Amino acid sequence: MIRSITSTLHQGTGTGLRATLLDAAPHENKINGIIRPVFCVGGDGKAVYLVGKKTSDDSSRTSSFFREEYNLNYRIATQSIPQVSFWDGVVMGGGV
């Protein structure tokens, strides 16, 4: 099974990141992958594929998805604490 990132996952990760950064003295931002089996591809690829296959006519949703994803990637990349990710499986994408 191929899993992909969704807007809901972006929002949840963003909420967790905000909570971590609001902590009085965070030492790291730790993310754990918990769904098995894990093989995850970027949701942006899936969103573009569905628009291209005409199973989704809403190209504005694709634009919104990219905006959410890259905004979250930027926030993770520019945070003031180290990012530590634990994955058990194959993960592909820019936000890892």
Give me the amino acid identity at 1: M
Helices (H), 23-94: 43-52, 59-77
pTM strictly above 0.85: no
Going residue by residue through the chain (96 aa), what tens digit of pLDDT does each one get? Answer: 556 667 777 777 788 878 777 776 777 777 666 666 555 666 666 666 776 776 555 666 677 777 887 888 888 888 888 777 776 666 666 555
